[in-house]
Structures are given as C-alpha cells and as structure tokens.
Amino acid sequence: MRKIAIMGAGQSGLHLAIRLVKSGYDVTVISERSAEEIFNGPPTGATYLFHDTLQLERELGLDFWSDTAYHSTGFNINFGKPDGNFAFGISSRTSKPGASIDQRLKFYQWIKLFEKLGGKFIVSDTTPSDLLACTAQFDLVIVSSGKGPLARLFTKDEDRSTHEKPARKLVQLHINDFEQPEKTKFTSITLDALMGGGEIITAPFYQKDDIQCSFILIEAIPGGPMDVFDEATTASELLVKAKEMIRTYLPWRYAAFENAEVIADNAFLKGSFTPVVRKPVVQLNSTAAVLGVGDTVILNDPIVGQGGNNASKMANAYAKSIIARGDKPFDVAWMNETFEGFWDYSKYVNRFSDIFLAPAKPHVVEVLGAATQNPDIASDFVNGFNHPPALFPWLDDADAAREYLTAKMRSAEPVM
C-alpha cells in the first residue's frame, strides 16, 4: 500500500487525505493543531463554496450540513458611486446552491471521519527538517499548510504572480440580525462594491456552534474610504466602524446592516496578505522533493471567493493524478505535471480574482451594464463564480466581450 504524508489539516489537506484513504492509500496527516484546538481556535476565512466544490464534498460523504445549513442560490452584485449614490445592480440565481460552513466545525468533523476511515492523524508543527525526514518514510509528501510560514519554502513564480503587496485590507465578522433571527436578511450572496473604495461581501454562514448567521467580509482598498478599521480591536468595534462606513458611503445598503450584531466579540479576522503563485515543488536534496497544494502554492485574495473552492478542486485533481500514477515513482516531473494540469484551470481563477481587484476596464463595465438588462448575461456572470473558465475570454478581452454581448443580444431579440 502506497504511503502518503500530508502536512496541514485544512481545506485541501483533509479533502485530499479522505479521498486517498477511501481509495485504499496509507495516509498520514500531520497537523500543527489537534481537532479540538482547531474547533476552539480563531475563525478562518468564511469560505463560501459553490456548487461544483460542494459536489466533490458530497461524493466523499463530507457534506454533513446539507440539511442544517442554509444553502443559497440568490446572488446580487451592486455598484455604488464614490458620492454615495447607487450606480447599478445585478440580481440573478445560481443554477445550483452554494454554502459557507465554519471551517473550524468542518475540519473537526473531517479529522474525526478521517481517523474512523483508518487514516493516521499526528499533531506536530512541521518544520523544514521534518519534511526531509518524512520523504524517507513516505512515497509522497504533500504540503497543505495554507499561507503559513512553511509556504515560504516554495519559490515565488514571478511570471504567474501579479502582486507585490496586498490589494485589499480584509475584515471578516460573523453577524446576525437578532431582531429577526428566523428571517436573516442575508439569505443571498451579495457583493456591494464602492467604486474606488472596495467591496463588502455578505452570505449565509453556518457558525461552528450550530448558529445559522451571516458573514460580512470587507475588502478595503488601502488608503481608500473603506480603510477605517486600523484602530478597532474587537468584533463589536469593527462592526460599529463598518456601520458608520456603510451609512456614509453605501447608504442605499445601510438598512440591511442597521440591526446587525456580532455573534461573538472575539470572532473576527482582520489583516492583509499578498496574493502569490509559487513553484509547486521544493527539492530538499538531490533525491528528495515535496509537492505543495492549496494556498501554499496558489494564494488568491478572497474577493471572488475562490481560495477554498480552488483548494478542494486542486485536492481532487491531485488525488486523481496520484491514483493514475499506479506504482510508478512520484518524481519531480510527475509533481510538476500534476500541478500544471491544475494550473490549466486555476489560471482563469487567478485572472478572475485580478480582474475584480483592479479598477474595472470599460468592457467589464459594459458586460456588467448589459447584465442589468439581460437576465441571461446576469446568469452567465453569477454562475461563472462556480466555474471561472466559463467567464473567458469575454471578461478579459474587449473584442471577445463585444462578440459575446452581440450574440446574447441577438438571441434575446423576439423571433418574428
């Protein structure tokens, strides 16, 4: 039985581990924290997952919350002008539902399942020297430690990395409207953009203590009007600042947040990071190498909610490549091929994220403007979050956008 070690018990590592153990591999997950420490630890990114990713989890029996957590199909994208006026908005439905489950609850349950299935779970903070020792004991060592320090062992891919500094300052809170707890106002996923200021993303969130609430993720352009959170140190203070900022710059959206309260004062994320693509393989010596997965090697800003989706899809692609390899060695050439196979998909994910992080180009504004009038275009756009390659080439190229819009307008004309 082939022996695989996975460093890091998160979205990609646990998905890969469970997929492989179910396929008969001898899998060991090495995690810096126990399942209980993860459950009781600080919150992670909200990680709204779209349908294709949820389907991969369903295949593995990992969708423990399909009956309890709110799954949404509503999707709104609104744009506000810097003077506080509403510019335009798109509303559509995704063809299949998505959901956001607190990763602390998810990872806790997944670790328990992994152990039940016969996987080995070791609590240890992996160091670079541990990696070398592991390569002697395992047929393959995969690093899934997220954007933590171990990722820095992987060289930045200068050709594929498009950022030198964080594009946004992030604040995430778990909130509820306790005046109407049975009827949360955030049943859809909504992205409110303030032109030149940043974005606010809200969606239903199933919190680890079985509370169905919502998350609010604020993506503030550094130095811009939404960048107001530096002094706030608790979730309540952050929410007060957020409400002030929304009332001033997005007054047309304020009513939705007016009665919001935080779920817990210590449940927030605040910080920033630089999106990066890294080379997928670290050669530890002339014969030993390890392969990276998830945020360790492809780290995107969460603006279009792709990191967790990508992490699971990459784990699935790696599992297929491992199984297809049979008894042949997991050499460096195979590792690079495995990553490149996934990059063929992720290059669209990365570009989609970058298009949203940059000021909108005229053809993007044209497409979004057309989507306000044409439900078919709005539907194509919101469903593209589930599978970003479907948004190309028209989201990235002015000529392709024109062709796409012409075809859509033609098909919308009444047949005489």
Ligand X SMILES: Cc1cc2nc3c(=O)[nH]c(=O)nc-3n(C[C@H](O)[C@H](O)[C@H](O)COP(=O)(O)OP(=O)(O)OC[C@H]3O[C@@H](n4cnc5c(N)ncnc54)[C@H](O)[C@@H]3O)c2cc1C
Q: Which residues contact ligand X by CB under 6 A?
A: 7-13, 30-33, 44-49, 125-126, 144-146, 148, 150, 170, 172, 217, 269, 294-296, 302, 305-309, 311
Burial 351-389 (b: 16+ CB within 10 A, else e): bbbbbbbeeeeebbeebbbbbbebeebbbbbbbbbbbbe
Give φ, ψ of 99 to 5 degrees.
Answer: -160, 160
Q: What residue number has its CB nearest to ligand X?
A: 10
Helix or strand (DSSP H, E) at 351: helix 332-357
Tell me the closest approach of the beta carbon of residue 278 to ligand X, in angstroms.
12
How far is residue 71's CA from residue 65's CA, in Å, rounded to a whole number? 9
Are 393 and 105 in contact, with CB atoms under 8 Å apart?
Answer: no
Tell me the closest approach of the beta carbon of residue 115 to ligand X, in angstroms.
16
Residue number with CB closer to ligand X (17 or 371):
17
Tell me the closest approach of the beta carbon of residue 203 to ligand X, in angstroms.
7
Residue number with CB closer to ligand X (235 or 405):
235
Are 240 and 173 in contact, with CB atoms under 8 Å apart?
Answer: no
Residue number with CB closer to ligand X (125 or 397):
125
How far is residue 273's CA from residue 102's CA, in Å, rounded to a whole number? 21
How far is residue 45's CA from residue 48's CA, in Å, rounded to a whole number? 9
Tell me the closest approach of the beta carbon of residue 353 to ligand X, in angstroms.
10
3-state secondary structure of 221: coil
Tell me the closest approach of the beta carbon of residue 274 to ligand X, in angstroms.
12
Residue number with CB closer to ligand X (151 or 378):
151
Tell me the closest approach of the beta carbon of residue 96 to ligand X, in angstroms.
16
Residue number with CB closer to ligand X (57 or 377):
57
Strands (E), 158-275: 169-177, 189-194, 198-207, 211-220, 260-262, 268-271
Tell me the closest approach of the beta carbon of residue 411 to ligand X, in angstroms.
32
Residue number with CB closer to ligand X (31 or 350):
31
Tell me the closest approach of the beta carbon of residue 363 to ligand X, in angstroms.
26
Tell me the closest approach of the beta carbon of residue 141 to ligand X, in angstroms.
12
Residue 393: is the preceding peptide bond cis (ω within 30°)? yes
Residue number with CB closer to ligand X (20 or 170):
170
Residue number with CB closer to ligand X (31 or 214):
31
Tell me the closest approach of the beta carbon of residue 401 to ligand X, in angstroms.
26
How far is residue 257's CA from residue 239's CA, in Å, rounded to a whole number? 9
Pairing between β-strand 289-292 and β-strand 268-271 as defined by DSSP bridges: unpaired
User: Token digits for 105?
Assistant: 């609850």
Residue number with CB closer to ligand X (45 or 384):
45
Residues facing residue 358 across a β-bridge = none
How far is residue 196's CA from residue 23's CA, in Å, rounded to a whole number? 49
Residue number with CB closer to ligand X (2 or 174):
174
Are 290 and 128 in contact, with CB atoms under 8 Å apart?
Answer: no
Cα-based distances in Å from 111 to 13, 52, 313: 10, 22, 19
The label of the residue with tokens 């107001």 reads 228
